[in-house]
Amino acid sequence: MTDLPVLRLKPKMDPRRIRFGYPWVYDNELVLDRRSKAIAPGSLGVLEDAGREPLALVAANPGSRIAGRVLDRAGVTELTDDWFTERLSRALALRSRLYDAPFYRLVHAEADGFPGVIIDRFGDTAVVQPNAAWAEVHLDQLTAALVAVTGVTNVLKSAGGRARSLEGLDDRDAVLAGAAPDAPVPVPMNGATYMADLTGGQKTGLFYDQRPNHAFAAGLAREARVLDVFSHVGGFALAALAGGAASALAVDGSQPALDLARDGAARSGLSDRFATRKGDAFDTLAALAEEGEAFDLVICDPPAFAPSKKALDAGLRAYERVARLAAPLVAPGGYLVLCSCSHAADLEKFRTACIRGIGRGLHQTGRSAQLIQTGFAGPDHPIHPQLAESGYLKALTFRL
């Protein structure tokens, strides 16, 4: 017996999906009576099937669309310090085997057994995104285990983003251990140095997920003229320059991001071949075409245009527009890399939108396209086998 509150599946809900490893229970799958609706967000609970058979230990949040997140098997009734330590140790063992320096995503939410939790590591500083109510409740335990397992001295909480608001959580950042760095942190990746703003930048300060796609693009960049649109802190541009590109132009709407890209280029000894241009990406792509510019390698890595199913149609139109505007800027025989981090736009839909856009962009030129590479997030962003949403990143490389 346990004193934990109970969440029960509706009679018509098949429990096998949970038994086979699916990590979420939606509010419309549960019998939400007055008692279950009163469960405090982030509380531990027992998920039962309609016949009252225990299925799993879950984190409950009756006010969220995801009303239950599976934490462990049925019979486990608490999250001990050892529970956090063992899971973090497992996550660290994978990254330590993959990378020779402590710069990576340490925890990728459900795929690492921490539903809704993201942890990125930057040397001796870790940035935590506790995007689920249960993680907010257990933040002290998580922080203590994180310090003990990894040896980091600083732990920061990043509270921005849509996911926390969907859970009913605040947007207040905090220092959980140690101190916040007083300057951007240099991060070595793919032969370049990137500058990560851990307190004022986007998300956790840097996007590790594109690391293998940066590397693939860099392999195409030798002696090339490179255009990196939606560049953020110089992701593709700096990797391309480290790979021997003749020049790289980084375009972004954020001047602080471009300043960090410039600092990264300087740290990498690449400033003489690097330039930036601030502006709206769509307007800048059109302006470059009017100016008669051409590049051997063009990369477009926009933010999530389709963050939800409701935004899917508009998002696909935006991806098509990016492809249509970018394709004419690619010199004959050059390469175009198009990326999406929208989990609502699956690979097939995204690829279709890109191909349609390229076709529209090149229709008067007689040129054709070849899709030569499909890339995904790096292995420090593992995919949960039953949760398609954890495989959100797509990168398509075309030869035009």
Please check whether residue 305 lies inside any domain of the structure. Answer: yes
Q: Is residue 351 part of a domain?
A: yes
Residue 200's pLDDT is what?
Answer: 83
Same domain flag for 255 and 285: yes
Residue 58 lies in a domain: yes
Q: Which residues are catalytic?
A: 341
Last residue of a domain, one of 154, 177, 200: 177
CA-closest candidate to residue 323, choices 351, 358, 347: 358
Residue 3 vs residues 42, 46, 69, 216, 373: alpha-carbon distances, Å? 16, 9, 19, 53, 53
Residues 139 and 286 in one domain: no
Q: What pLDDT score does 160 carry?
A: 83
Report residues of the chain scoring pLDDT below 70.
1
Helix (H), strand (E) at residue 260: helix 255-267
Q: Coil, helix or strand for 11?
A: coil
**Is the Cβ–Cβ distance between 103 and 188 less than 8 Å?**
yes
The answer to the question of residue 1 being in a domain is no
What pLDDT score was predicted for residue 1? 53
Say what the pLDDT of residue 390 is.
81
**Do 61 and 30 meet the contact criterion of CB atoms below 8 Å apart?**
no
Domain boundary residue, one of 136, 156, 177: 177
Note whether 68 and 86 are same-domain residues: no
The answer to whether residue 307 is domain-embedded is: yes
Query: Total structural domains in the chain?
Result: 3
Confidence (pLDDT) at 388: 83
220: containing domain = 185-399
pTM above 0.85, yes or no: yes
pLDDT of residue 155: 98
Alpha-carbon span 232 to 300, nearest angstrom: 11
How many other CB atoms are found less than 10 A from the CB of residue 191? 16
Residue 321 lies in a domain: yes
Integer CA distances (angstroms), 280 to 51, 111, 200, 263, in order: 56, 35, 21, 22
H helix or E strand, kind and range, residue 312: helix 312-326
C-alpha dihedral sign at 331, 334, 340, 345: positive
- Pick the closest to residue 213 from 376, 325, 352 (CA basis): 376
Tokens 């699916």, residue located: 22
